[in-house]
Chain A
């Protein structure tokens, strides 16, 4: 009983401390979950951020903020030491006991869905907008995003009228070794489909495949995301650790594309439309040439 009274006192104290004229919007934010943090920044919330998790790496300025560690193993006291008013994150945040301790301490814990579809994104942005006090901007951002996607879809439809959709596999690896294949229900799958590709993997989630299965699926395009390396080093590592990939049609025709792995965490993120452009260019090389 004593504790709930002091919790209330704490919350009231925190709010009152910021002056009677200050809005009741949370001013000190901690964010967890790559794409979510990007949206917070996109909606102008970066000045309010006082801490982020390890998956929040875009924009690069976020890396200068204190890190609360891995989003599934948050330390209540650690987060509390940043004196936040609100903790935003996806349902991947945990452990639940730590979240409960934070709530008890008066921190607003807001959970967002990481489902990769537009409806979820719309409600997430709306919710963020409320918390930031700029619903109008949130709506505008979403509309713009939606338009960009619609335009891209139209483009893809044109290309598909004359060209067959390529079979694609998206591999997520670590320094090339033992990559996981992205299946249904992932952000990766959403990206591949919206870029006009056919995801050859029919399972759900991320699963490891044997090298023979990978080659046996004969992908026309390979997309890879490496958590440890980047650029040519990542590409080289991928083929070094999985030499059989060199036998795929994708590798033989040089249609191997790198994707930033931070795009795949936390639901649909603001940078996806650019990635879609890049991917579609590789999926339909001739038509984009002729489209120019």
Chain B
């Protein structure tokens, strides 16, 4: 117990970390902007009436490219981590991952349908393109999750173990369907599909960002209110029921929040794995399993991790870009191993 970090220390540390991540994400990039220009452009974006001389490029890079990208990273990182906590609570297992309820594979299937379907139909007007893809991914994620949830219900009760098996089965099924689409795809579509599967914060724009921001904010405000109930759920479903919690409702909320959050994140940024599994784990190793700390801390930690990963993704091979899923694994895994070796709290 004495090796646990105090909540106050943790929050201060994570807030500082997140702030640093945001700052670096805005200040650094393949285009090297003088720091002074970045600062002034940032102030101008906030509405401060400064002289705009020579700031056009900085304002463009900052306002149109880096800022939406940073916001996207914050939202995706935060909501993926939060969903990880929700799933680990639902399955009462620290190795659970949002993908277990099928939302990631459902989203991949939705995306495959959109990418390949559009080609098969002879192509859609380009303006449709990104919206269609995101929408299909989102609906695919929700659809498969709904199916998994439905399969897990019997006599008005949700059996988590059954849900787990249903999730595995449907993930496999969705995977085969994606395989089929892959076969039907031509080389060009195939590459688009592959890259979508690797995830990226590239091309973030405000118009595509706001649905995700809304959903993430909703999930991030809702879940922490159920922190005590989630703690009790870890005792066991019947024990939580004896403590007066409506367990069926709680399970439904957890599945729903995960489906919405991860669905929106995958729709906006493709498949970025690893964050939902490792971030809650890391925070738990540092500060214990109490959800009152775990939930908000995971949001901050997930957002920071993703922004740092994106920084590496953008800069490591500039002017080219690394897929971010590779980077999250490279950053997260060694750190995770280190904490494990250091010994559990």
- Residue A51 CB within 8 A of the other chain: yes
Nearest B residue to A106, CB-CB? B60
Known: A67-B320, A75-B30, A105-B60. A95 touches B314 (CB 8 A): no
The answer to whether A77 and B61 have CB atoms under 8 Å apart is: yes
Please report which residues of chain B, range 304-342, place their CB below 8 angstroms from some CB of chain A when the two chains form the complex: 314, 317-321, 323
Q: Is the CB of A69 within 8 A of B202?
A: no
Cα-based distance from A6 to B41 in the complex (angstroms): 13
Bound Cα distance A78, B66 (Å): 12
A92-110, CB under 8 A of B: which get 1 and which 0? 1011111011001100000
Task: For the complex, give the distance between the alpha carbons of A186 and B148 in Å.
Answer: 42
For A104, the chain B residues whose CB sits under 8 A away are 60, 64
Task: Provide the residues of chain B in CB contact with A94, threshold 8 Å.
Answer: 192
Q: Which residue of B is nearest A8, CB measured?
A: B56
Name the one of A10, A69, A101 contacting B321, with C-beta atoms under 8 angstroms: A69
| A51 touching B191 in the complex, CB below 8 Å, given contacts A95-B202, A97-B204 | no
CB contact under 8 A between A67 and B319, given known A73-B200, A98-B203: yes
Which residues from A are CB-within-8-Å of B318? 75, 78, 81
Q: Are A97 and B130 neighbours in the complex by a CB distance under 8 Å?
A: yes
Partner of A78, one of B30, B52, B130, B323: B30
Which of A149-157, A204-212, A219-227 lies at the binding interface? A204-212
Chain A neighbourhood of B323, CB < 8 A: 73
Q: How far is the CB of A144 from chain B (nearest CB, A)?
A: 30
Given known contacts A6-B59, A73-B202, A78-B318, A92 and B188 CB-to-CB distance under 8 angstroms = yes
**Which residues of the partner chain B approach A79 to less than 8 Å between Cβ atoms?**
319
Q: Are B187 and A95 in touch, CB under 8 angstroms?
A: no
- Chain A residues positioned under 8 Å from B191 (CB to CB): 70, 72
Interface string of B72-87 (1 = CB under 8 A from A): 0000000000000000
Count A-side interface residues using an 8 Å CB cutoff.
41
A13 at the interface (CB under 8 A from B): yes
Which chain A residue lies CB-closest to B60? A105
Bound-state CA distance A177–B192 (Å) is 21
Residue interface bits A66-91, CB-to-B below 8 A is 1, else 0 = 11111011111111111000000000
Among A99-123, those with CB < 8 Å from B are 100-101, 104-105
Quick check: is B23 within 8 A (CB to CB) of the other chain?
A: no
Flag A54-72 by CB within 8 Å of B: 1 or 0 each. 1000000000001111101
Determine whether the beta carbon of B63 is less than 8 Å from that of A3.
yes
Please, which residues of chain A bring their CB within 8 A of the CB of B130? Answer: 95-97
A140 within 8 A of B: no
Q: Chain A: which residue is nearest B54 at the CB level?
A: A13
By a CB distance below 8 angstroms, the chain A residues around B290 are none
Question: Per-residue 0/1 for A220-255: is the Cβ within 8 Å of any B Cβ (1 yes, 0 no)?
Answer: 000000000000000000000000000000000000
A100–B183 CA distance with the chains assembled, in angstroms: 30
CB of A272 within 8 A of chain B? no
CA distance in complex: A155, B233 (Å): 80
Closest to A50 in B: B319
Q: Which of A10, A72, A77, A78 has the most CB of B within 10 A?
A: A77
The answer to whether B57 and A10 touch across the interface, beta carbons within 8 angstroms, is yes
Task: Point out the residues of chain A lying under 8 angstroms from B200, CB to CB.
Answer: 73
Given contacts A78-B314, A95-B202, contact A205 B186 (CB under 8 A): yes
With a CB–CB cut-off of 8 A, which chain B residues contact A204?
Answer: 186
Indicate whether A9 reaches chain B with its CB closer than 8 angstroms: yes
Whether A77 lies near B195 (C-beta < 8 A) is no
- B2 in the interface (beta carbon within 8 A): no
Q: Closest approach, in angstroms, between the C-beta of A126 and any C-beta of chain B?
A: 24
Convert B15-43 into 0s and 1s, putting 1 for each residue whose CB lies closer than 8 angstroms to a CB of A: 00000000000000111100000000000
Q: Are B195 and A78 in contact (CB under 8 A)?
A: no
Interface flag for B51 (CB, 8 Å): no
Complex Cα gap A74–B317 (Å): 12
Known: A78-B30, A101-B203, A206-B186. A51 touches B319 (CB 8 A): yes
A73 touching B31 in the complex, CB below 8 Å, given contacts A7-B60, A9-B56, A206-B186: no
Q: Is the CB of A96 within 8 A of B129?
A: yes
- By a beta-carbon cutoff of 8 Å, the part of chain B in contact with chain A is 29-32, 52, 56-57, 59-61, 63-66, 126, 129-130, 183, 186-188, 191-192, 195, 200, 202-205, 208, 314, 317-321, 323
Given contacts A77-B314, A81-B319, 7 further A-B contacts (CB under 8 A): A7-B60, A70-B320, A77-B30, A77-B31, A95-B130, A104-B64, A105-B61
Give me the 6 closest cross-chain CB pairs, A-B, nearest first: A69-B320, A97-B203, A78-B319, A205-B186, A81-B30, A6-B56
Between-chain CB contacts (< 8 Å), 29 pairs: A3-B60, A6-B52, A10-B56, A10-B57, A54-B320, A67-B319, A69-B317, A69-B319, A69-B320, A69-B321, A72-B191, A72-B195, A73-B200, A73-B202, A76-B202, A77-B30, A77-B31, A78-B318, A80-B30, A81-B32, A95-B130, A95-B203, A96-B130, A97-B202, A97-B205, A98-B202, A101-B64, A101-B205, A208-B183
